[in-house]
Amino acid sequence: MTDKDHLSPKAREVLSLSNEERIQHIREDKWVGYTRASEIIAKLEDLLVYPKVVRVPNMLIVGNSNNGKSHLIEHFRSLHPANANPDGEYIIVPVLLIEAPDKPDISSLYDSILDKLFVPHKRSETERGKRDQVVKVLSSIDLGIIIIDEIHNLIAGTAMKQRAYLNSIRYLGNKIKRPIIGAGTIEALRAIQIDDQLSNRFKPEILPNWKLDKDFLRLLASFERTLPLRDPSNLIEKFLAMKLHAMSEGTIGELADLLNTAAIWVIRNSKAGEPERIDENAITFCGYIPPSQRKEVARKL
């Protein structure tokens, strides 16, 4: 056992870099797996190879803001990159990932699909014309699934526009016979409930806020392995775990921000001969502000 066994192989390599290079590494996106994410990814893998049938199942990934939805689907997309397939008949797009428009405008959604596939089109084209072009293009490629992130943006419109938007998504799924995955906050689930056919097809998969339990401790241990600090922080120690859970308020995105901020503070403030690890001082003085406190500050402005 070496004195760097608290780190992953990649993090050990980064230890040899300069402080600023280590900080840059900490700021980069990194995937930290956990049980619930693995369960959802396994279900996405099943949908990816689902046969073209009349009633294709869909999924709605639901969670609070900053609790890992977008990171999860981006990680899944990275596992299945598109392939131009120059020797084949069709280009291969296992995962078509798009972001929902900021309001329930189906014409803008069609634009996003065509833009993502680099298909020339006229933004002034009628909604029906864009719809027909989208169906034609998606039918001409080897498509696995479509993922629409931030689908809760549909609540920005009237009930009538929400229904029309959802009907268009259902129509698209019926035509291309490929699973459609939505990802958004609980508002997305409530919005989809207004359409019985869609609510029956879009099975919700919940990313709940984290409890202070064994799963959370495993998550802390996984995060610690990614942070290139020279000494073990023992984040699973009871007091540190409780403080980290309270400050992050149970969301994985906030936890990542807190730990990254604390690790950077440690690198910049540790003195020679002192342990380089995240401790209570690092968590307290690194400058991280919990979400609820940010709201309180905003209310006082």
Q: What is the CATH number of the domain that holds 116?
A: 3.40.50.300
Of 142, 177, 207, which residue sits at a domain end? 207
Whether 294 is in a domain gets the answer: yes
Q: What is the mean pLDDT of the chain?
A: 92
Residues 135 and 77 in one domain: yes
pLDDT of residue 1: 39
Domain boundary, last residue among 186, 207, 228: 207
What pLDDT, on a 0 to 100 scale, did the predictor assign at position 50? 96
133 and 58 inside one domain? yes
pLDDT category at 154 given cuts 50, 70, 90 is confident
Residue-range definition of the domain harbouring residue 15:
9-30+211-300
Q: Confidence class of residue 29 from pLDDT cuts 50, 70 and 90?
A: very high
My answer on whether 129 and 192 are in the same domain is yes
For the purposes of burial, counting CB atoms within 10 Å of the CB of 257, is it exposed (0-12), middle (13-18) or buried (19 or more)?
middle
Specify the number of domains making up the chain.
2
Please give the Cα distance from 173 to 82 (Å, whole number): 20
198 and 234 assigned to the same domain: no
Same domain, 296 and 181: no
Is the pLDDT score of 273 beyond 90?
Answer: no
182 with 149, same domain?
Answer: yes
Regarding whether 19 and 76 lie in a shared domain, the answer is no
Return the pLDDT at 58. 93
| This prediction's pTM | 0.91
